[in-house]
Chain A
Amino acid sequence: MSKREDSVGHVWQHLILIVMVLVTVYPILWVLTVAFSGQQNLAFIDLPADPTLGDRLRAIIPWPEQVTMSNFVAVFRDQPFGRWLLNSVVVSAATTLVGVFLACTAAYAFSRFNFPGRRAGMMSFLISQMFPGTLTLIPLYIIIVEWLRLGSNYLGLVLMYATIAIPFCVWMLKGYFDTIPRELEESALIDGASPAMIFWKIILPLAKPAVAVTALFSFMTAWNEFILALTIMDKESMYTAPVGLRFFVGGFAEQQWGFFAAGSIVAALPVVVLFLMLQRYLISGLTAGSVKG
């Protein structure tokens, strides 16, 4: 009897989940449809004056008339999307490197050493996370563009993104470092390792999952960011992918939804690939537990 109840319960669960999945996937299907339709407009069916139910259904089901790669080819050939993508790659990769390196070293110091300002430092990182990011827009603009004169420059954007990513990364990594038993380091110390060697050979390899999470976080912070990039990248040749995409639509010129969709898909790919590659670490990194011997 209980078995029957179970399976009825499952039906409901499945129904709810299926609806949720449709809600989530529907917009993505539209993007895919528009991208592969070869057209630029969102509505690729012209409803007749007196549409039947079938016509209406046809209009909301995301399915292209024909499948073509022309939009993908065009964004790279006719539009400078390749250049923007490259900018994004450079900026995101640099942000990841700078962010993860600084976060690792800072988090290790916060985790292991006692120095004046340790608590204050951690707290200020935490507090900086409590304000909306746009709040830092103006001070960052003044520092990076007006003082350092790094407008429309990779370095300027990388500095900005690192500033945003580092506090979270430090907290994440410190939390993980804290779970690594000190005795491992003491043992290494007796074995004759220097503090630097302990950091590189013992701590970092053990913290791989947390490093993977922070690396991905830094990368995505930079890759998806729009407002800061729009603010300081003035030259069209220095746009990042999200900024460039924005100029396909929303201007006064013709709306190029096809380019927008195709570009979005291309831009989403690296993140998907990274997720798949780091999946193994992500699970253990997010549930950051102690390193059992």
Chain B
Amino acid sequence: MAGVIFDRVNKCYGDTEVIRELNLEIRDQEFMVLVGPSGCGKSTALRMIAGLEEITGGQIRIGDRVVNNVAPKDRDIAMVFQSYALYPHMSVRENMDFGLRLKKMDRGEMDQRIDEASRILGIEKLLERRPKHLSGGQRQRVAVGRAIVRQPSVFLFDEPLSNLDAKLRVQMRAEITGLQHRLKTTTIYVTHDQVEAMTMGHRIAVLHDGDLQQVGTPLELYETPRNLFVARFIGTPPMNFFRATIADDGARLTADGVELPVHDSLRRITQGRSGKEVMVGIRPENLYDVKRQTDHPTARIRLKVALVETLGHEVLVHGHFGSDERETDPSKLLVGKVDPHSEPELNQEIEMQARLDSLHLYDPETEARLGEEGE
């Protein structure tokens, strides 16, 4: 068991820097998810821990050992690849004991570990089969099993679920989290799927273009995204944004046809900034039916309905605020949630209420969050 520390880690391919000054601590026994859009460098970061990529600058420590120059096999890690990377010419059992045999482990211990792992994963009956004769989900389990039997101090997963169908993905998601909970092995899990990140990780690290954006628990990331990128990335449907101007010495936010009183909790930020522009963020679940009873302070926003999405338990309404030519202006589009039975008509003007105590304010230039820690 061990934690992993990135200490000012850099990675360059030639002149292109794909990881910049990464500082990140993954604690012992923690389930850390690295998430970010395609090409942001998450696989690279993971492969540097595994020793499959050179570290250009800085240090990576596993436990209290600097591993920059340690061979992959000596890092005491196990990795599950997106393609599973099962050896096609070996049976499931041989796949699982390949690494153990290389360590010259004795047969009894080896068999015991394999038995245990295959029982946990429900693949006891598949041990003599070749990977070719397994379904996608079974291969996935074997790949995980191969990692487990090594009893490493760190598990590395690189988008292990992306080749599975949606239903199996949800199931394996739960299985992997359950497994980590049971084994308590430090785990670093790479994905580009923010739902996977939110549901699986103890903490999440969001990467964008090689820069670490924010690290925190799923709830922290959801409630206080540190910048516009994280705010847009975490949550489905994503947070709404629009530009507004601060008025009345910070008492009001105004945009085209929208007037929002500033809630007390945000006054500290807006005070004395009259005339300044801010990006206002509001999550779709905080923009709802005027009919809904609520104890929270709200203000009304008029929208012209552009799209109605019925999801069964709720209905998403996409609509534009403001007056002129708004249909073509995506920066005036807001998404809110209404009752399943109040289906609004397309192009109808409706009123929604926005919850004022859960607005997010961002600096339009620096894209950083205004307030609390963002100042």
* CB neighbors of A among B25-46 (8 A): none
* CB neighbors of B among A183-207 (8 A): 183-184, 186-193, 197, 202, 205-206
Is A183 a contact of B87 with CB atoms below 8 Å? no
Q: Taking the complex as formed, is A181 at the interface, i.e. its CB lies under 8 A from any CB of chain B? A: yes
Q: A205-B89, A291-B88, A293-B139 given as contacts; is B83 within 8 A of A190 (CB)?
A: no
Is B78 a contact of A190 with CB atoms below 8 Å? yes
Is B84 a contact of A193 with CB atoms below 8 Å? no
Is A293 a contact of B84 with CB atoms below 8 Å? yes
Is B79 a contact of A187 with CB atoms below 8 Å? yes
Is B79 a contact of A190 with CB atoms below 8 Å? yes
Nearest to A204 among chain B residues (CB) is B89
Q: How far is A190 from B77 in the complex, measured between Cα atoms in Å?
A: 8
Is B99 a contact of A293 with CB atoms below 8 Å? no
Q: Taking the complex as formed, is B52 at the interface, i.e. its CB lies under 8 A from any CB of chain A? A: yes
Q: A189-B73, A190-B72 given as contacts; is B85 within 8 A of A183 (CB)?
A: yes
B229 → chain A closest CB, angstroms: 30
Residue interface bits B47-70, CB-to-A below 8 A is 1, else 0: 000111000000000000000000
Is B85 a contact of A191 with CB atoms below 8 Å? no
| In the complex, chain A residues whose CB is within 8 Å of the CB of B86 | 293
Q: How far is A292 from B88 in the complex, measured between Cα atoms in Å?
A: 7
Q: Taking the complex as formed, is B132 at the interface, i.e. its CB lies under 8 A from any CB of chain A? A: yes
Is B88 a contact of A188 with CB atoms below 8 Å? no
| In the complex, chain A residues whose CB is within 8 Å of the CB of B83 | 181, 183, 293
Q: How far is A184 from B95 in the complex, measured between Cα atoms in Å?
A: 11
* CB neighbors of A among B206-253 (8 A): none
Nearest to A187 among chain B residues (CB) is B85
| In the complex, chain B residues whose CB is within 8 Å of the CB of A197 | 102
Q: A190-B50, A190-B77 given as contacts; is B85 within 8 A of A202 (CB)?
A: no
| In the complex, chain B residues whose CB is within 8 Å of the CB of A202 | 87
| In the complex, chain B residues whose CB is within 8 Å of the CB of A191 | 73, 98-99, 102, 150
Nearest to A206 among chain B residues (CB) is B89
Residue interface bits B274-298, CB-to-A below 8 A is 1, else 0: 0000000000000000000000000
Q: A192-B103, A193-B102, A291-B88 given as contacts; is B81 within 8 A of A187 (CB)?
A: yes
Is A186 a contact of B103 with CB atoms below 8 Å? no
Q: Taking the complex as formed, is B336 at the interface, i.e. its CB lies under 8 A from any CB of chain A? A: no
Q: Taking the complex as formed, is B131 at the interface, i.e. its CB lies under 8 A from any CB of chain A? A: yes
| In the complex, chain B residues whose CB is within 8 Å of the CB of A292 | 88, 132
Is A188 a contact of B78 with CB atoms below 8 Å? no
Nearest to A186 among chain B residues (CB) is B52
Is B81 a contact of A183 with CB atoms below 8 Å? yes
B369 → chain A closest CB, angstroms: 39
A165 → chain B closest CB, angstroms: 26
Q: How far is A206 from B131 in the complex, measured between Cα atoms in Å?
A: 13
Q: How far is A197 from B103 in the complex, measured between Cα atoms in Å?
A: 13
| In the complex, chain A residues whose CB is within 8 Å of the CB of B85 | 181, 183-184, 186-187, 293
Q: How far is A188 from B50 in the complex, measured between Cα atoms in Å?
A: 12
* CB neighbors of B among A137-188 (8 A): 181, 183-184, 186-188
B331 → chain A closest CB, angstroms: 43
Is B132 a contact of A293 with CB atoms below 8 Å? yes
Is A192 a contact of B81 with CB atoms below 8 Å? no
Q: How far is A177 from B307 in the complex, measured between Cα atoms in Å?
A: 51
Q: A191-B102, A192-B102 given as contacts; is B88 within 8 A of A206 (CB)?
A: yes
A200 → chain B closest CB, angstroms: 12
Is B79 a contact of A184 with CB atoms below 8 Å? no
| In the complex, chain A residues whose CB is within 8 Å of the CB of B131 | 293
Q: A183-B81, A184-B87 given; name 14 further pairs at CB < 8 Å.
A: A184-B88, A186-B72, A187-B85, A188-B87, A190-B50, A190-B52, A190-B72, A190-B77, A190-B78, A190-B79, A191-B150, A193-B98, A193-B102, A293-B83
Show 30 A/B contacts (Cβ-Cβ < 8 Å), sorted by A. Answer: A181-B83, A183-B81, A183-B85, A184-B88, A186-B50, A186-B72, A186-B79, A187-B81, A187-B85, A188-B87, A190-B51, A190-B72, A190-B73, A190-B77, A190-B78, A190-B79, A191-B98, A191-B102, A192-B99, A193-B98, A197-B102, A202-B87, A205-B89, A206-B88, A292-B132, A293-B84, A293-B85, A293-B86, A293-B88, A293-B131
Query: Measuring CB to CB, which residues of chain A are less than 8 angstroms from any residue of chain B?
Result: 181, 183-184, 186-193, 197, 202, 205-206, 291-293
Query: Measuring CB to CB, which residues of chain B are less than 8 angstroms from any residue of chain A?
Result: 50-52, 72-73, 77-79, 81, 83-89, 98-99, 102-103, 131-132, 139, 150
Closest 7 CB pairs of A and B: A191-B99, A192-B73, A183-B85, A192-B102, A187-B85, A205-B89, A183-B81
